[in-house]
Amino acid sequence: MHEREAIKLAANQELFLIKLARNIEAGADVPVDVIAHVKENLAIPTSESSICVDGGYSKEEAQGELARPGADLGISIALLKMNFTPEQAFLTVYNYRVMEGQKYGWHSDKHVDPKYGQSDGDLEDNLDHEVQKVHNDHHEVASHSDAICGCGHCNAANNSSSEYELDPNQVLELLNIVKQYQASHPENMRFVNLDRDHNEKGILVIDSDEVTVYPWDKEKGVQFFVYDSKRDQQLLANIVEYINLVQTDNLITYEQFKQIVEDHTQATLGLLGSSKGKPIYTISVENGKLTIKSSGNAPIIEEQ
């Protein structure tokens, strides 16, 4: 794209967001702080990779990337449920991203991995780092649980593996493979080491591919979980199509895969202290109007 075309596109996108922010319709039961956050944090979707639904991404870290549970690592975790080995589960998503000229997305945080570098820097090759006990509301899905990663979705799949119908040893093996590739092929990975404490007010489900919402307004200290559900459905469909093109011995359907992802998403929402029971708001865009509706609350799952 020529520089003049890029400038024109950016101007048109900015104008679109300005007009959209002026044309918001919200249900009477949607709190004003939810409306304000959406209005002031609209973003144009980008497609380099994916980020997690975690509310701790700054605007610079989020950029507009597709927000989904566990980022790309969450997709690999779902493939474990479909009898992919940890290596197959990683390489399937990784190879798809590389084929598309994109990057494999995942994250940790500085509570669990304080030694890891900046988001765009090299990640220390530290596969055998000591698992730390953490006691904040995000990772404590069970009393005194051990966090293997700063991603709550990954932690929950490991620490509460029965809720995901997974072998925790496979989750750990998958995470180690991700770390190995982060160390050896950082150019194909999008890693963010989040520096935040959890203060999410609720969950924003974006049922649109025209817009997304930055999760964290650092100036106001306001966070929301964000899930780009419509864009995620398209990504999952693309990955299923890719899987069925490159292999013949483990064919899967979109419906099967989508159901596993939905089950895992509900498990994570219900297990994590930072999300369980929180209000959910659905955001859609049609004919230049943005609509916000209350959609109930996240589930609450009590550990056995």
pLDDT digits (tens, 9 = 90+) for 44-73: 999 999 999 999 999 999 999 999 999 999
pLDDT of 182 > 90? The answer is yes
**Which range among 91-100, 114-123, 168-177, 286-295 shows the weakest confidence by mean pLDDT?**
114-123
What confidence score (pLDDT) does residue 143 get?
Answer: 31
pLDDT band, very low/low/confident/very high, at 117 (cuts 50, 70, 90)? low
Residue 116 scores a pLDDT above 90: no
The pLDDT > 70 percentage for the chain reads 90
**How many Å apart are CA 229 and CA 6, to the nearest integer?**
28
| Res 3: pLDDT | 83
pLDDT band at 121 (very low <50, low <70, confident <90, very high): very low
What backbone phi and psi angles, to 5 degrees, belong to 219?
-65, -35
Beta bridge partners of 25: 291
Task: Specify the amino acid at residue 126.
Answer: N
Q: Identify the burial level of 1 via C-beta atoms within 10 angstroms of its C-beta, where 0-12 means exposed, 13-18 middle and 19 or more buried.
A: exposed
Q: How far apart are CA 197 and CA 78, in angstroms?
A: 27
Residue 279 · residue 172 · CB < 8 Å: no
Percentage of the chain beyond pLDDT 90 is 83
The single-letter DSSP state of residue 173 is: H
Confidence (pTM): 0.91
The number of angstroms, rounded, from the C-alpha of 261 to the middle of its chain's C-alpha atoms is 12
Closest CA to 111 of 128, 129, 127, 135: 135
| Lowest mean pLDDT, pick from 43-52, 110-119, 198-207 | 110-119
Phi-psi region of 288 (alpha: psi -120 to 50; beta: other; left: phi over 0): left
Residue 252's nearest CA partner among 142, 22, 88, 95 is: 88
Provide CB contacts within 8 A for 251, sequence distance 6+.
243, 244
224 three-class SS: strand
Q: In the prediction, which pLDDT does 140 show?
A: 43
CA nearest 41: which of 10, 70, 64, 12? 64
pLDDT tier at 126, thresholds 50, 70, 90: very low
Q: Looking at this protein, which amino acid is placed at residue 140?
A: E
Q: Would the pLDDT of 152 be above 60?
A: yes
Structure tokens at 63: 């950029």
User: pLDDT value at position 58?
Assistant: 97
Find the helix or strand (DSSP H, E) in which 267 lies: helix 254-271
Confidence of residue 1 (pLDDT cuts 50, 70, 90): low
Q: How far is CA 72 from the centre of its chain?
A: 8
Alpha-helical (H) ranges within 25-126 are: 32-40, 59-62, 71-81, 86-99
